[in-house]
Amino acid sequence: MKVLSTKKDKINDIKLILEPKFFDESSEISNIVKKIISDVKTGGDETILTLGKKFDSKKLTSLKVTEEEIDKSYDQISPNLLNAIKTAKNNIYNFHKKQLQNSWFETFDNLIYGQIVKPIEKVGFYAPGGLAPYPSTVLMTAIPGIIAGVKQLVMTAPAQKETGNIHPAMLVAARECNITDIFKIGGAQAVAALAFGTDLVPKVDKIVGPGNTFVAEAKRQLFGYVGIDQMAGPSEILVICDKTANPSFVAADMLSQAEHAEDSRCVVITTCRELAEKIIKELEIQTKSALRKEMIQKSLDSNGTIIIANNEEEACELSNVFAPEHLELQTKNPWDTLKLIKNAGTIMLGHYTPVPVCDFAAGPNHTLPTMGTARFSSALGVDDYIKKSGILSFTQKGLEEISQTGITIAEAEGFEAHANTIKIRTKGK
């Protein structure tokens, strides 16, 4: 783990460590994904089943999840988990319904303008789940689409290696959201199937949801042919904390992200050197007893960073460079700290608001911008499932009033025929 201090290390050098890196995807991964996309496009369901047996589970025998499978899934999870899924669903729904936009119009004497907001007709969402179940991702990707009014939501998720089926908790979450088109397809082949459609899988207009490197690369290659939400990268957390923070809380929060993968990025920026020392000790203690301690240790060794800043302003300046997926403000006055924050996916304030409660149950979406993209993008939300069309209607008099402006700009840009469409209607007025 790197331990840095703005007193001894140049702040610009620290910024270089934190700032987004340009990753040119390896040609090997790019070529593998390109071939998968091509094979799925020409081979359809048969190819997808073959790839599923190769990459996900040898026990995979079918692609489409049946109603019977979904019915049985309720008997395969605990009542506590079912109640948790229902509670999380309600919280996520209540949060996202505030995001819904309405169409609007304004009427003047000779002009009407406005904007029509319509849902995208068909959206596919990818829910990772080959190694572990992620019912929360099913909820996070389905509910904004439901609120937006998407006519058809299609879900893909990889089959579990041991069973050849999608984990029952994910099927329950899908049923609770009334998702009926569910397919046992993972990886790049899932993105290709949704983009092109097959005999079984409906062709969609947009694909959303997080995934591994191959999913992200498939989304990159197919962007433009089909709509894409964002390219998800490694999980990230940054904690800004002062002497009021509890070191065991901060260490636990770092571990919660480090257990995702070896490339997870976990950063603490504190104004208190003594706290930094205590956090390091807590990390050692908590890692020893962690279920995924090997993964956590590798993550912290390669991407863990603790920075001691001179003051809160400096800490926030560094945080804004990192633009973290998850940002925790564990300071004496977190609402004051918030005023200094410019870039973050989701921001959690106070000592009792850890990332997992937000990611799983509280309401905000956990499909978030990573790799510094919080500088210009947002969490997955209702806006990702809608499209907007501008509306304009002139009377003849209204057109005449604005005609010269349109004609002048069209001619300045060398578009004579453009200008003529106005002139022919106004007789040159």
Which positions are annotated as active-site residues?
A: 325-326
Q: Give phi and psi for 122, each to the nearest 5.
A: -130, 125
Query: Secondary structure of 315-337 in the HEC alphabet?
Result: HHHHHHHHCCCEEEEECCCHHHH
Partners of residue 326 on adjacent β-strands: 237, 346
Tokens of 69: 């499978």
- CA-CA distance, 163 to 38, in Å (whole number)? 28
Q: Give phi and psi for 114, each to the nearest 5.
A: 175, -165
Q: Any idea what DSSP says for residue 76?
A: G
Residues 6+ apart with CB under 8 A from 99: 144, 147, 381, 382, 383
The 181-183 sheet, strands edge to edge:
181-183, 152-156, 122-126, 206-208, 227-228
Alpha carbon distances (Å) from 160 to 71, 119, 165, 186: 18, 32, 6, 10
Give me the amino acid identity at 117: V
Torsion, CA 75, CA 359, CA 296, CA 33, rounded to 10: 80
User: Which class for 375: exposed (0-12), middle (13-18), buried (19 or more C-beta within 10 A)?
Assistant: middle
Question: How many C-beta atoms surround the C-beta of residue 163 within 10 A?
Answer: 12
- CA-CA distance, 172 to 151, in Å (whole number)? 21
Q: Give phi and psi for 113, each to the nearest 5.
A: -135, 165
Is residue 304 helix, strand or coil? strand
Closest CA relative to residue 126, chosen from 115, 110, 137, 111: 137
- Looking up tokens 């409906």, which residue turns up? 202
- CA-CA distance, 418 to 421, in Å (whole number)? 6
- CA-CA distance, 175 to 69, in Å (whole number)? 11
Partners of residue 270 on adjacent β-strands: 241, 308
Q: Give phi and psi for 117, each to the nearest 5.
A: -105, 120
Kind and range of the H or E element at 14?
helix 11-18
Alpha carbon distances (Å) from 402 to 3, 65, 111: 62, 57, 11
